Amino acid sequence: MKKFPEGFLWGAATSSYQIEGGHDADGKGVGIWDEFCQKPGAIYGGHIGDVGCDHYHRASEDIELMAELNLQAYRFSISWPRVMPHGTGEINEKGLEFYDRLIDSLLAANIRPLVTLYHWDLPQAVQDRGGWLNPEIPVWFEEYAKVVVGRLGDRVKDWITLNEPGIYVNLGHFEGTHAPALKLSPAEILTCYKHTFLAHGRACQVIRELAPNATLSYAPHCVTGEPVDDEAQTVEAAREYTFGESHPDRNFWQQRLYIDPICKGVWPEKLCHDLAPEWELPTSDEMAVIHQPLDHLCLNFYSAPLVDPAGAVIPDAPGIARTLFDWPVRERGLHYAVKFHHERTGLPILISENGLSNMDWVAQDGKVHDPQRLDFLERYLGQLHRSISEGIPVLGYMHWSLMDNFEWADGFKQRFGLIHVDFQTGKRTIKESARHYSEWIRANAIP
Ligand code: NOJ
């Protein structure tokens, strides 16, 4: 068995809109995903997240399952429209009570809550005022952060501000395939990024003030090059692919944009100039707000393009291992993502998401056999163990996801869970891979 360091944190992750349901329960306001799901053709199969996994009504059962799986931590997000139906002003007490109960029950089960403030469900009322384009949004987000951290900060010891701005800005505002389904100009996209990073900075200040003993982090997605071999030249080519100064042909899919302003206080000027020469760079006062000290960096990692020694992307060979999302299985990419991001930022790393979608179903014997997930877990955790052995501080691993859920534009097609959910009845079934994961947690080691 490969041992993990003492104190390594094992868990699983979800997000509010993807699992909660209760879309109009107890005074919740409308979110942009509630709206987007109504658009014909927006979501695979016309699926909607109104009920989702009905976690809003089944949270106690879900915590019992987490305990049965020996999870030490659970990463989830707060729904802004559930807590503040109009985004600002009125507070929905019942929404806060839901999170109160959730956190109390997690703590009672000895499961550490890792709380994300924003995982994509913007209140529609905020969108109606311009959403991430409105220069006031950092102030509104600060107000929301004060409400949430003020209420839950006595018990939550780990806060994450934003989940994957790269995805919600690029897909939601540039490509238009996620809510709020806009296709903005390159300059407007950079403005959305600036506002999103300012919102992060202001939320950090709130967290430091109201929960001074908590850890503070941020969870970007990773587009990391995986070197095709471990030779020094190839590794440097993959690093350059990941953090190169500017790849104008990759428009806003450039890791430097999501990492450098927040973690280093450096705005990627050339990249911005290449994409929108007329755009005005943030001022030094704005950069001071954006660049707040973090305790560690969260990373959501799934797959990676393969990079050759010359820095070119190698096309995927026919028939390689792929998930139902069609993402190649690239476990070495995880090691390099961890290494490159740690070396660039100097921060310890926590894997806040990693997992695969699969075509799981309940078999005739009543079980969910998911050998691919088991193999995936062994491969990726094996590489994480390698990172740790090479001296990189890796604090923990949150598998995506705790349970099958609403996978955004892909609806309920993609099953990412350790727990299978029957979306007709809500019935939960622990998958076979999860039984193994649970044993590894107990042993703090993997095969
Ligand atoms: C990242 C996102 O944070 C999460 O919401 C999503 O379900 C997973 N990736 C899988 O696509």
DSSP 238-277: HHHHHH-S--GGGTT--HHHHHHHHHHS---HHHHHHH-T
Closest CA to 236 of 338, 308, 335: 308
**Residues acting as catalytic residues:** 164, 353
Indicate if ligand 1 lies below 6 Å from the C-beta of 34: no
Closest CA to 326 of 419, 417, 410: 410
Sheet of 297-300, strand order = 215-219, 158-163, 112-118, 73-77, 9-13, 394-400, 349-353, 297-300
For residue 16, what pLDDT is reported?
98
Domains and CATH numbers, the chain: 2-446 (3.20.20.80)
Per residue in 155-192, pLDDT tens? 999 999 999 999 999 999 999 999 999 999 999 999 99
Indicate the residue type of 288.
A
DSSP 90-149: ---HHHHHHHHHHHHHHHHTT-EEEEEEESS--BHHHHHTTGGGSTTHHHHHHHHHHHHH
Segment 221-240 mean pLDDT: 97
Task: For the chain, give the percent of residues with pLDDT over 70.
Answer: 100
Segment 288-314 mean pLDDT: 98
For residue 166, what pLDDT is reported?
98
Closest CA to 99 of 150, 140, 65: 150
Per residue in 8-57, pLDDT tens? 999 999 999 999 999 999 999 999 999 999 999 999 999 999 999 999 99
pLDDT-derived band at 346 (thresholds 50, 70, 90) equals: very high
How, if at all, do strands 394-400 and 73-77 pair?
A: unpaired
For residue 119, what pLDDT is reported?
99
For residue 180, what pLDDT is reported?
98
Indicate if ligand 1 lies below 6 Å from the C-beta of 54: no
Distance of CA 366 to the CA centre of its chain: 31
**Pocket of ligand 1, candidates 408, 410, 421: which has the most ligand atoms within 8 Å of its Cβ, to mutate?**
408
On whether the CB atoms of residues 259 and 243 are closer than 8 A, the answer is yes
Tell me how far CA of residue 183 lies from CA of 164, 174, 175, 180, 186, in angstroms. Answer: 18, 4, 6, 9, 9
For residue 128, what pLDDT is reported?
98
Written as six digits, the tokens of 89 are: 């002003």
Per residue in 306-319, pLDDT tens? 999 999 999 999 99
For the chain, the average pLDDT equals 98
Distance of CA 115 to the CA centre of its chain: 11
Q: What pTM was estimated for this model as a whole?
A: 0.98
On whether the CB atoms of residues 57 and 21 are closer than 8 A, the answer is yes
On whether the CB atoms of residues 304 and 337 are closer than 8 A, the answer is yes
Indicate if ligand 1 lies below 6 Å from the C-beta of 121: no
Residue whose CA is at the smallest distance from ligand 1 atom 1: 300
pLDDT-derived band at 325 (thresholds 50, 70, 90) equals: very high
- Angle of helix 232-243 relative to helix 255-264, nearest 10 degrees, comes to 80
pLDDT-derived band at 390 (thresholds 50, 70, 90) equals: very high
Written as six digits, the tokens of 56 are: 């809003």
